[in-house]
Amino acid sequence: MRHFDHIDAALRKHLFFRHPRRFDRHDDPAVLAVALGATLYSPAVRPNLADDIGKAARAGVTSLVVCLEDSIADADLPAAEENAVRQLRALHAGALGGEAEAPLLFLRVRHPCQIGDLTARLGDAAELITGFVLPKFTAATGGAYLDVLAETGERTGRRLLAMPVIESRDAVHVETRRAMLRDVAELLAKHRDLVLAVRIGATDLSSAYGLRRPPDLSIYDIAPVAGAISDIVNVLGRADGTGFVVTGPVWEYFSAGERMFKPQLRESPFLAQRAAPLRRSLIVSDVDGLIREVHLDKANGLTGKTVIHPSHVSPVHALSVVTHEEYCDAADILGVAGGGAMASAYANKMNEAKPHRAWAERLMLRARVFGVAAEGVTFVELLDAAGSR
């Protein structure tokens, strides 16, 4: 699959200086972790789940989680498992329609035993599954999940990857957080070959204080949760070879209510592209808040995002494209072996070869899977194109 393959080839040629490269579930996990982009969550009880996955793929979704955990009532779990197995087997047996490929698919389980059981029940359809999302992950609970995942992979001959979710109360309470994250880091280091990315469960972290962020504030405005995110990145997202890709927390709004604050999107970039109707539609659906939060995710070391509605995918992916200016900066930085400082190619900043190198390396990996925008192409153009179908 390839990001932005759902838009017209001629338009892609206009938009990109370097086009996104293809990837599939067998690629290097370092590539896949960045390629996840906007990961769409779907409850396993959806009666037309296979069709939903096909529609999502044709609309540009490249990673999707079938959820058997918090989105499913306890009494509905057996039916949800049965539906997920039936729908995924149907998806495997049939075609998605058109030229779309199945996205990277994950199952979010609630018990370690579900990993082996569901893999067995899926049969040959298990080849659709890239891995499993492991909820409420701590060092005390996570070892059992990872052991079962490794055993299932060995038994079936399939590579199954883990995405642990940091969302327990120990992760947000200040007196337990740092020891808990240290222990999780040690556990994940022992199973590094199994870990694709670390996810953050902001809804559960907020619930420890009875909080829920409104759509016109970002998760970074919720101080107790923002502190937890900072420490999660500090311990688990380091750029020294010990860290992992850490993904952005869920954006859970898709329809606007009463607004307290002004819209968070400037008019001028949209007017310049004659895209004022696009700006209005983003504001009406509260996507301006999502766009701001994705900017803050990136600034704080997070990659990709959990989303719950297909309309969220194109903003996340448009913001994941590397700008021409960023690419020029990264290329200049990586082209210098001995360190030193230089003016940027755009003559608006200083680039330092040593301290900016880790940033440049990460950016080039994102450029590989999301591409580099052509000179002068803005986020507005990318979003307009990505959401046009």
Range of the domain at 58: 24-320
CB neighbourhood size of 342 (10 A): 14
Q: Which two tokens stand for residue 144?
A: 């059992």
- Bigger pLDDT: 386 or 224? 224
Share above pLDDT 70 across residues of the chain, in percent, rounded to a whole number: 90
In this predicted structure, the answer to whether residue 269 has a pLDDT above a threshold of 90 is no
Instruction: Say if 361 falls within a structural domain.
Output: no
Mean per-residue pLDDT over the chain, rounded: 91
Residues 138 and 133: their CA atoms lie apart, in Å, by 13
Instruction: Say if 365 falls within a structural domain.
Output: no
Residue 59's closest CA among 19, 130, 1, 115? 1
As for how many domains the chain has, the answer is 1
Instruction: Say if 121 falls within a structural domain.
Output: yes
CATH of the domain at 160: 3.20.20.60
Residue 275 has phi, psi (to 5 degrees) of: -120, 35
Which pLDDT tens digit goes with each residue over 107-160? 999 999 999 999 999 999 999 999 999 999 999 999 999 999 999 999 999 999
- What pLDDT sits at residue 23? 97
Residues 279 and 295: their CA atoms lie apart, in Å, by 17
> Taking residues 157-181, what's their average pLDDT?
97
Q: Which two tokens stand for residue 29?
A: 């996990």
Question: H-helix or E-strand containing 150?
Answer: helix 139-156
Residues 341 and 321: their CA atoms lie apart, in Å, by 26
In this predicted structure, the answer to whether residue 175 has a pLDDT above a threshold of 80 is yes
- What pLDDT sits at residue 379? 86
Instruction: Say if 4 falls within a structural domain.
Output: no
Q: 62 falls in which pLDDT band (50, 70, 90)?
A: very high
Instruction: Say if 172 falls within a structural domain.
Output: yes
Instruction: Say if 224 falls within a structural domain.
Output: yes
Which pLDDT tens digit goes with each residue over 74-88? 999 999 999 999 999
- What pLDDT sits at residue 215? 86
Interaxial angle between packed helices 357-370 and 313-320, expressed in degrees from 0 to 180 and rounded to the nearest 10: 130
> Taking residues 260-267, what's their average pLDDT?
60
Query: Residue 175 contacts by C-beta under 8 Å, 6 or more apart in sequence?
Result: none
Instruction: Say if 368 falls within a structural domain.
Output: no
At residue 41, the 3 state secondary structure works out as strand
In this predicted structure, the answer to whether residue 388 has a pLDDT above a threshold of 50 is no
204 is in an annotated binding site: yes
In this predicted structure, the answer to whether residue 106 has a pLDDT above a threshold of 70 is yes
**Contact in structure between 64 and 130 (CB atoms under 8 Å):** no
Residue 303's closest CA among 290, 292, 317? 317
361 is in an annotated binding site: no
DSSP string, 152-189: HHHHHT---EEEEEE-SHHHHSHHHHHHHHHHHHHHHH
Instruction: Say if 286 falls within a structural domain.
Output: yes
- What pLDDT sits at residue 108? 98
Residues 389 and 204: their CA atoms lie apart, in Å, by 33
